[in-house]
Structure 1
Amino acid sequence: MSPWTAGLALSALLQTGLWALQRRTKNAATADLGWALSLGAFGALHAASGSGHAGRRLLAATILAAWSLRLSWHLLRERALAAAEDGRYAGFRRRWGAGAAPRFFALYLAQTPLAALLSVPLAVLAADPRPPGASGAAGAALAAAAVTGETWADRQLAAFRADPAHRGRTCREGLWRYSRHPNYFFEWLFWWGFVVMAAGSASWGWTLVAPLVMAVFLVKLTGVALTEAHALKSRPDYADYVRSTSMFIPWFPK
């Protein structure tokens, strides 16, 4: 069985199980959790079945596994086990009403082809016969820096929200002073690490799929767009935050 077929099957089974779970918990944030775990599985499958240099395959799979486990733990702790459903999914649930179950099922299953698409750089790296070399080291360093930045941003936001005095207010501390979505920025930056790692590969261009797709989803579809629509309705100070702070790429506030 090819890594693509195995990955699609595993991811679809996982997402179906998580969808069934959310029918009881009424918390669809587990869709994100399933997506992160699915990507880690795709990375492991590509590495295990690839014909490229073992060191390059191991390096790429290890980086993706670290990213997957870190993000999965964060999503489990902060969203899947949260008392209230993430505002984006709660909004879907209200709008969809009695027809929410099949629509959420489609949303969960949509994470499977997305995970497959984002794993394309791992397939490229798994087929590369060259040892990791300088490009491998540089790409790994960039990916590690991005994971560190995303972790930092997530922790700053969690600490801010943990203070009851901050209820209904917008976090402008730490990295959140320079970007309205530093976690999304570092998430996007992470995928450029694989682009750097694959530099010089005959199939290098295919690695651009991941950061480009992530940019579209993070900014236009599921990330910034939905988060900001909810924030503008729920936080009186968010409009001023929009005027003064860079949306995505960290920069000095106005």
Structure 2
Amino acid sequence: MSSFDTSAFFETVGWSAAAVAVVLLATFGCAKIAGRHNVIDTTWGLLFVTAAVVSFVCSAGYGDGLRRYLLLLLPGLWGLRLAYYVLRRSLGKGEDPRYDEMLNKAKGNRDLYALRMVYVLQGLLALVISSPIIVGAFEPRPLRVVGWLGVAVWAVGLFFEAVGDAQMQTWRADPAHKGQVIDVGLWRYTRHPNYFGDACVWWGTFLIAADSLPGVVTIYAPIIMTLLLTKGSGARILEKHMSKRDGWEEYAARTSMFFPLPPRKPRAAA
């Protein structure tokens, strides 16, 4: 274990891609049975679990043992928690309006269009964002300070994501809050504690791999995930929907959009 094994690494990339493809095809089959394509939202976290398991198995005898276990357990815990949360939230509900809107643009077969624009695209994104996991599993050097910093950042991220989701679930369970904007707990400090936590999880995962080269090169992975969460299908679309609710403008004016900050005081009337 004196150097990074490029040949074994690229072989693992191939196995990871094949495993992710199998999971996506199984998800597509489930979506056809269920009659809704938002089933893939549950599978999103499982795609990273799949990449982590394949990387752990294939890197045996190549990468540092501690880093390999961290890059198996941390993404695994994150992905399984997210999949369980999304599954519980979606049970008994119909298709997500986002997918209906997208599929209405299909000029041919809707299922083939969904397979190309939803499943293949998410599979490719998952593989790219999983780069720190796959690369890090083959790094032979022992874990150092940067790696342990990554574990701490990951833990902060999981806290914000899990606690934020739990607070939202509790808020929605109260009928008195229907149509209102949540402004309690972590949601007082950021309009998207779950998305902020998700970003921290992937910056932490990157730092575990960035202890040494070539892990540093995978910095594009957390950048892509952060952009997806803030500018892509995450906060941007959610805020467009939330802006129709009463009290949203006041809440947005005093609450940080992404990074947790103390609530801003309202400006005095002129």
TM-score for both structures, normalised by structure 2: 0.84
Q: Which residue pairs with 2:89 in the alignment?
A: 78
Is 2:58 aligned against 1:31? no
Is 2:67 aligned against 1:56? yes
Kindly tell me: are residues 231 and 123 of structure 1, through their superposed partners in 2, closer, same or farther at Cα, counting changes over 3 Å? same
Is 2:206 aligned against 1:195? yes
Structure 1: distance between partners of 2:190 and 2:63: 39
Structure 2: distance between partners of 1:7 and 1:198: 17
Query: How far did residue 121 of structure 1 move?
Result: 0.5
Within a 5 Å distance, the mapping from 1:151-170 to structure 2 comes to: 151-170=162-181
CA contact (8 A) 1:120 1:206 kept: no
Is 2:257 aligned against 1:247? yes
* Bigger helix fraction: 1
Structure 1: distance between partners of 2:112 and 2:214: 38
Structure 2: distance between partners of 1:175 and 1:183: 9
Q: Which residue pairs with 1:45 in the alignment?
A: 54
Give the letter aligned to residue 89 of structure 1: Y
TM-score for both structures, normalised by structure 1: 0.89
CA contact (8 A) 1:56 1:130 kept: no
Query: How far did residue 231 of structure 1 move?
Result: 2.1
Within a 5 Å distance, the mapping from 1:33-182 to structure 2 comes to: 33-50=42-59, 51-79=62-90, 81-92=91-102, 100-106=110-116, 107-182=118-193
Task: Give CA deviations for 1:219-249 in whole Å, capped at 9, x if unaligned.
Answer: 111101221222224x233233323321111
Give the letter aligned to residue 113 of structure 2: R
Task: Give CA deviations for 1:168-219 in whole Å, capped at 9, x if unaligned.
Answer: 1111111111111110001001111123223440213223122100111111
CA contact (8 A) 1:135 1:199 kept: yes
- Superposition RMSD on alpha carbons, in Å? 2.3
Q: Percent same amino acid among aligned pairs?
A: 32
Alignment: residue pair count: 252
Structure 2: distance between partners of 1:250 and 1:140: 20
Task: Give CA deviations for 1:141-188 in whole Å, capped at 9, x if unaligned.
Answer: 221221122100000000000111111111111111111111000100
Unaligned runs of 5+ in 2: 1-9, 265-270
CA contact (8 A) 2:16 2:51 kept: yes
CA contact (8 A) 2:38 2:99 kept: yes
Give the letter aligned to residue 257 of structure 2: M
CA contact (8 A) 1:120 1:207 kept: yes
Kindly tell me: are residues 232 and 102 of structure 1, through their superposed partners in 2, closer, same or farther at Cα, counting changes over 3 Å? farther
CA contact (8 A) 1:141 1:193 kept: yes
Give the letter aligned to residue 27 of structure 2: L
Task: Give CA deviations for 1:118-157 in whole Å, capped at 9, x if unaligned.
Answer: 1110122112111224333332222122112210000000
Structure 2: distance between partners of 1:204 and 1:244: 38
Kindly tell me: are residues 126 and 148 of structure 1, through their superposed partners in 2, closer, same or farther at Cα, counting changes over 3 Å? same
Query: How far did residue 28 of structure 1 move?
Result: 2.8
Q: Which residue pairs with 2:25 in the alignment?
A: 16
CA contact (8 A) 1:3 1:46 kept: yes
Is 2:23 aligned against 1:5? no
CA contact (8 A) 1:11 1:34 kept: no
Higher mean C-alpha displacement, 94-103 vs 48-57: 94-103
CA contact (8 A) 1:7 1:38 kept: no
Structure 1: distance between partners of 2:104 and 2:171: 27
